[in-house]
Structures are given as C-alpha cells and as structure tokens.
Amino acid sequence: MNLRFFDINLYLGRPKRAVYGAVPSGQELVSGLDSLGVSEAVVWHIAQYDHDPVDGNALIAREIAGQERLHGCWTLLPPQTREVIREDFFRRMKESRIVALQAFPDAHRFLMNRITFGKFLDEVSERGIPLLVHLDRGNSYAGVYRLLEDYPQLTCVLCDVGIWGCDRYTWPLLEHFRNVRVETSLLALEDGGVEATVRRFGAERLLFGTGFPDRYPEAAMLQLRHADIPDPDKEKIASGNLEDMIRREQL
C-alpha cells in the first residue's frame, strides 16, 4: 500500500526559540516534502504566532503563492479590532488560497467565544472552513469546550493534542460535536491511540499531521503506515479526509 500524505499541521519560518531544521520558505518546504514523500500540506507561518497575525498572514500568503501543493492557514483576531477580519475576509481567503483558520487566544490575549466572534464563526461554520486549534500554543481544552458550546457546528481540528494520552479530553468532544476532528502528529505518539479512536468514532474523524518542524514527520508517517486498522481507513486519514474537507468548503 502506497499512502498519499496530505499534512494539515506544519509551519514555515524561524521561531523565536530556535527549532532544529526550520524551513524559512515555501519553495524549500516543497523540496523537503518531496524528500519525505508528503504530497500536499496546509501550512502556516510561525510569525502568525510569534510576531503578529497580520504580518504573518501576509507572509504565508506570499510563501504559498505559486506553490500549488501548499495551502494556507490564516490566524484570527477578534473582529472588533478589524486587524484581520474585515468585510472582504472570505474573498481574500479565496484569492490567497487559504483553506483553514486558526487562533491563539491565550497567547494573543482574547477569548474565543460568541461574545467575541458573534456571527463571524457562524459563517465559518456554515462555509465548512476548518478552524485549527493547537493545544500546545495559546489554547486550552477548557477553551475548546467553551468554544464548541457556542459554535456546535464548527469544523474544529484539534492539533498537537498533547504528549500524554489525550483521549479523556478529545473523546467527549468527538462524541458531542460531529464536526470535530483530531490531527494525528501527537495522537500517533499514543500507543494504540489512532486505533482506539478509529474503532470508537471512525477513521473519518482523523486528519494526518506531522507537527513539522517541531516533530519528525517520519514518526507519524510510520505509525500510520503500520497502524492496526484497515488500509482504506489509513488512506482516509493520510489524505482522503482532508481532501474531502477542502473540497466541501464554500469560499
């Protein structure tokens, strides 16, 4: 079986604290993906977190321009300040080939709830645009639970779910909210975590991610390749689910 990998969780750029093997440009990332055997990726720029979402969003749009295998992810701030979210937001997303959103509320000092985001996240939900929630950066499980209470239809992708097994946090969300997905770069680390989640909720709920450059991409790749689940489920997780998600988006 030859899996086609579509990575939903990696970033470009040099973090404040040095990371081994960070890749500064979209072009270099594509070369790296070739050597890894990763076909496509949803990518963000670390400046969106470390420096400023506005500058970082512009940077990632620039870096993926002309790189057909790379799709972008923008970082949100509260609509009230009009830094990121303005009237033409979704049109600009489409023009820049941005297919996903993310937010770092704890790091960027706002609350991720209906008071802050109002109808904007209703529209994100209706359009089927995935919101990536990185549990190791500026997000907490308590925050995700509150967010999904306010926006139960949101397509929410739990990324970087934790070094220790996270099923006690993620499974209630998978049970209650049908559009919640789990990214695998750390779920794959939990022995039997992918298999148990697939058996309980189905392979459709998982999306392949590497966590590059923080983690070795080969780790999640090898785990999925030899996971104790049927081959069609591996194909869904490796790329099929994300392809379907992006295809269904309405931008």
Q: Can you give the binding site for another protein, defined by CB under 8 A?
A: 19-21, 23, 31-32, 35-36, 163-168, 188-193, 195-196, 213-223, 225-226, 228
* CA nearest neighbour of 224 among 233, 212, 211: 233
Q: How far is the CB of 193 from another protein (least distance, A)?
A: 6
Q: How far is the CB of 169 from another protein (least distance, A)?
A: 10
Q: Which residues contact 69 (CB under 8 A, 6 or more apart)?
A: 30, 33, 39, 40, 41
> Contact 111/119 with Cβ under 8 angstroms?
no
Sheet bearing 156-159, strands edge to edge: 5-12, 38-45, 70-75, 98-102, 131-134, 156-159, 180-183, 206-207
Residues constituting the chain: 251
* Residue closer to another protein (CB basis): 65 or 222: 222
Q: How far is the CB of 101 from another protein (least distance, A)?
A: 26
* Residue closer to another protein (CB basis): 233 or 246: 233
* Residue closer to another protein (CB basis): 65 or 163: 163
* Residue closer to another protein (CB basis): 112 or 189: 189
- Distance (Å, whole) CA 49 – CA 53: 6
* Residue closer to another protein (CB basis): 195 or 249: 195
Q: How far is the CB of 186 from another protein (least distance, A)?
A: 9
Q: How far is the CB of 203 from another protein (least distance, A)?
A: 16
